[in-house]
Amino acid sequence: MPISIVSIIIFVGLALIVIALLGGGIEVREIKIPALQIVPRVLSFFTGCALLALCLLRPDIFQGLNDNKTSAVSPPDQAPTVSPHPPDIKPNVSVQPPLDTSQRMKAPPTDTKSIPNIPGSTSWFVMLGSFDVNNGVLAVNSATRVKNRASEECHVSARTELTATMEGFTPGYVSVFLGPYDNREDAAANKEKVLLCVLDAYIKSINR
C-alpha cells in the first residue's frame, strides 16, 4: 500500500520533535544521531511543530505532491487495440455510372404527329428545353425527364424532336416543346401553364 506524502511529513515532524526533546545521542541500528546543542534542538523542535501543524491544518498543500507521485509510479494506460484489418464501411450513397460519350442516339424520340409545314406562315412554340446530341444518352434522358415533368406536374402534353428534322431550328439538339401554335396568344397561354414546372420555358417563333 503506498504511503502518502502527508504521512511521511508527519513522521518526519514527530522525529524532529523527539530529537529536540531528547537532545540527540540516539543510536538505532545503523542510524546514529549525535548529541545536539541548544540552538539545533530549538530549531528541530519548531521545525517539527511547523510540519505537524501544516499536515493537520492544511493537508491540501501536499495534495499536489501526492498526485504527482502517484502519477509517476502508476503504469501507463494500455493503448487501444487496433485491428490490422478494419472492416470495410461502405457509405449508403447511390453513384450513377459515368456517361459513355461514345454512345449516340440510334433513333430520334419523335411523336407520331408531324409538325405541319404551311409555306408563308409563322409557327409559335413553347420551348421547354434543348439538349446537345453530342451528350448521347444523357441528352435523351434529360429530354425525357423534362417531358415527363411537364406531363405529371403541369398536365400538358409536350413533344420531343431532333432539331435536325425541324425546319427553322438549329440542328444538333434534342428539343422538348409545346406546339406549334398559329398565334402568339395561344403560345403565351400555354407557356403560363408550364412555368409552374419548367421555370425557364420561353416562346419561339419560326417563319416558314
Give the residues across from 33 on adjacent strands: 26
Q: What whole-number percentage of the chain has pLDDT above 70?
A: 65
Distance CA 163, CA 178 (A): 14
Is residue 40, in this structure, part of any structural domain at all? yes
Q: Could you tell me the residue range of the domain that residue 63 belongs to?
A: 5-72
173 phi, psi to nearest 5 deg: -135, 155
pLDDT tens-place string over residues 79-129? 555 555 555 555 554 444 444 434 434 434 444 344 444 455 899 999 999
Mean pLDDT of 181-195: 93
Q: Pick from 134, 190, 128: which is nearest to 160 by CA?
A: 128
Beta-sheet strands, E only, within the chain: 26-28, 31-33, 122-132, 159-162, 173-181, 202-207
Count CA within 13 A, CB hemisphere, residue 46.
Answer: 5
Q: What is the pLDDT of residue 150?
A: 92
Q: What's the structural domain count of the chain?
A: 2
In a domain, 99, yes or no: no
Q: What is the CATH number of the domain that holds 148?
A: 3.30.70
45 found inside a domain: yes
Q: Is residue 183 part of a domain?
A: yes
Better-predicted residue by pLDDT, 125 or 40: 125
Same domain, 136 and 68: no
If asked whether residues 127 and 201 sit together in one domain, one would say yes
- Model confidence at 201: pLDDT above 70: yes
pTM over 0.75: no
